[in-house]
Amino acid sequence: MAARSGSLGEAARRLLKCENARLIVPIEIIYGAQKMALQISDQLPSLVHEPKVELGAEENTIRAGSPNGPLFVLGGIEQSLDIVWVPISKDELEDVWRRFEQIVSDLLSVGYPGCIDCAGPAATEPWDEAQSRSGF
């Protein structure tokens, strides 16, 4: 899980910075995703539209997108390098989701994205997806 923490953090940051995001999840985690979207809405009043949660057809895959294109994919097949991708196996879905939820919650609690340097040095550096994937 440690190798994935950076990618999960970047995925969380992208979600929290995005207006009109769509979060597409499998049935196993739809309740948690809806709860997280409400938390984002409550703690980010500057965000006019919290992420819209949708039930996805793909098992073991969590996707997020914006009006401008994909933000991240957790699970599924390898994505292009402009998308944060975290490989997960079927038995890891709920564990990875819980870790992602915790990262989102932690970022919200420190005031991200409206704060300066509150998300650590990784949040201020350009994201290197190729480097991140080399650790998987």
Res. 69: pLDDT tops 60: yes
Would you state the pLDDT for residue 100? 97
Q: Report the domain count for the chain.
A: 1
> Using 50, 70 and 90 to split pLDDT, how confident is the model at 114?
confident
Res. 123: pLDDT tops 90: no
Report the length, in residues, of the chain.
Answer: 136
Half-sphere exposure of residue 97: CA atoms within 13 angstroms, side-chain side: 26
H helical segments located in 18-128: 30-43, 93-109
- Tell me the residue range of the domain where 20 lies: 2-134
